[in-house]
Structure 1
Amino acid sequence: MGASAKPRATYNIFLSWSGIRSKWIAETFREWLPLTLQACKPWMSAKDIEKGTRSLQEIAKALQGVRFGISFLTPENLTEPWILYEAGALTRNVDDKSRLYTVLLGGLQSPDVKPPLGILQHTRPTKADMLSLVQSINLAISDDPLTEKQVETVFEQFWSRLQERLHSMPVAEEEVDAKRSPDDMIAEILEIVRSEKAITTNVVWPTTGVRFVPTESNFIPGGSGYTFGEPFWAQTENSLAPSPSKKTFFIKLKNNPTIQMVEGNYAIEDPAGTLVVFNSSGVTIRRFDKSVERWGEAK
């Protein structure tokens, strides 16, 4: 494996991957995006995530100044620890101008992706969806974005290159990772955490204000799986981690004077304007599609 690129303050897009197929497309996007949008400066780790060589400090530095994040999902990496970790870390930068999307590969459909990744904005490997993704990137990373027509023109010029790579993506890896026990996956993460004791970079979960610093205590074996400490939700019902307290959220819908009150542990509004309230296990309690005027936690 080659050495990872050294993160610079000028990077504005973070590409998250895990596994051969996911990495294949992430590398493609790293080369293809700057051709389509010159303002794009993508960053991705060049190290093999499965061998536990990705550096937490490296990721933390790369996230500085990032305005857009893309997680490349395949059926075989949906529950991989680092996909979940990086998605959580990326939320630190989510604000009115930054965005976090997924690209669904290998036949994945939106219903296949469960929270926390399931609440993100999904992109299918189709021409229409990819154009929409590029339009969103254009608006997120530039203070002087191109017009929609300009983006469409450049996209048409370079779409065939991306399409060819999407069609030539490697076949699924052997089911090696699926056979790993939860303890094996925990050990993999602990090895990385132990090697990065000096890291103090933390993640703020935007809806709760919870501040999270990765430590060994955040990786607790539980039941049939493993758990990350809040706010990563990779929890099982039998997890030893304490459940976060319930909250009451108020929701004011457009053209409706009634304010609704909904109980749940978390509420997230995605870039498309969809609001989802769900519990600590990631189960959706209520969903409001692009109809919310304002919302917040009731005090």
Structure 2
Amino acid sequence: MKVFISWSGPVSKRLAESIRDWLPGVLQLVTPYFTPADIEKGGRWANDIAKELSNAEIGILCITRDNIHSDWILFEAGALSKSLDKTYVCPILFGINNADLAGPLKQFQTTEFTKADFHKLITVINGRLSEHKLPAKTLDAVFEKWWPDLEEKITEILSSITIVDGPVRNDREVLDEILLLTRSARQTFRLPPKALEELLESFISMHNSEAQEVGGYEQSLDALKEMSRSIRFIARKYKDESTTISDLYDRFEKLSYQTVTQITEEEDVPF
């Protein structure tokens, strides 16, 4: 079975190479395709990639802070997703999380590079092997044996680069996305559960970041408080559609719209 591994940028390339080398040790019937190393010398790379994209049953996208808006990543993700009925597209997030994603990548089920999340991905890939898949207990044993090797390699790569502090997406981008989703919801009064989950996650993440007094926190918290009424109206209508939305709605209702310092000062006031 072909697994297409997509990358963009030097860090993403090293991460992709590590997964390419590691994957067949766990699932021997899997054949990873990794560019450009897997293209024969003299080959017409564009034709070769196009063929591999169309034949792949699994697409792994190595997403980092540096390539989150890469045109090449988006091109390959789009090509893979054209046949979603037979292709599973999975962005693997390194050093970022779901709240950092924007645009087309948000439609895919992501995997964070943790042992539990990566095991779920390997289970999905194994399931695509149909009658040749490993029994669950065998897969667990093999994964336990090989996981430390991959974890060590990935940790080594990530620790060798300079981590840039600060959010991947700035406050304005997050607020604009929340406003766009809110307006859209008010026009149609019908949101897919995933969209509402992302709306609440982004709102809560933004609130909690500003509550820690990061950036222009007082203005941002005031803006969020003004927006909360519309979002509450939408969320209340859909909060019973899934456990995730219900839990997010409960967290949303507990937001204080105050900074840590303000809350501490109120708690210290004697009565």
Q: Normalization by structure 1: what TM-score? A: 0.52
Query: 4+ residue stretches of structure 1 with deviation over 6 A?
Result: 285-288
Give 1:149 shift: 1.4
Equivalent AA in structure 1 for residue 135 of structure 2: T
Specify the alignment match of 1:223 in structure 2: none
Find 2:16's aligned residue among 14, 26, 48: 26
Give 1:58 shift: 2.1
Find 2:109's aligned residue among 105, 121, 129: 121
Specify the alignment match of 1:242 in structure 2: none
Residue correspondences, number = 180
For residue 15 of structure 1, give the secondary structure of its aligned residue in structure 2. strand
Q: After superposition, what is the alpha-carbon deviation per residue over 1:45-95, rounded to whole angstroms, capped at 9, x for unaligned?
A: 026xxxxxx943221111232111110000010111100100000012211
Identity across matched positions, percent: 34
State the distance in 1 between where 2:29 and 2:142 align.
13
Question: Greater share of helix residues, 1 or 2?
Answer: 2
State the distance in 2 between where 1:125 and 1:115 align.
21
Specify the alignment match of 1:153 in structure 2: 141
Distance 1:12 1:289, change over 3 A: farther
Q: After superposition, what is the alpha-carbon deviation per residue over 1:148-197, rounded to whole angstroms, capped at 9, x for unaligned?
A: 2111010011111101111111544799xxxxxxxxxxxxxxxxxxxxxx
1:197-208, aligned counterparts within 5 Å?
none
1:101 aligns with 2:90: yes
1:154-193, aligned counterparts within 5 Å?
154-170=142-158, 171-172=160-161
Q: After superposition, what is the alpha-carbon deviation per residue over 1:1-48, rounded to whole angstroms, capped at 9, x for unaligned?
A: xxxxxxxxxx5100000011111111111111100011111101026x
State the distance in 2 between where 1:41 and 1:289 align.
37
Specify the alignment match of 1:14 in structure 2: 4
Greater CA radius of gyration, 1 or 2? 2
Q: After superposition, what is the alpha-carbon deviation per residue over 1:197-231, rounded to whole angstroms, capped at 9, x for unaligned?
A: xxxxxxxxxxxxxxxxxxxxxxxxxxxxxxxxxxx
Give 1:115 shift: 2.4
Specify the alignment match of 2:124 in structure 1: 136
State the distance in 1 between where 2:128 and 2:243 align.
19
State the distance in 1 between where 2:109 and 2:145 align.
25
State the distance in 1 between where 2:93 and 2:27 align.
21
Note the residue ranges of structure 2 that are not aligned, 5 or more in a row. Answer: 38-43, 165-187, 197-233, 245-271
Find 1:61's aligned residue among 35, 51, 74: 51
Q: Normalization by structure 2: what TM-score? A: 0.57
State the distance in 2 between where 1:104 and 1:174 align.
15
Q: After superposition, what is the alpha-carbon deviation per residue over 1:80-114, rounded to whole angstroms, capped at 9, x for unaligned?
A: 1100100000012211x531111111x20110011
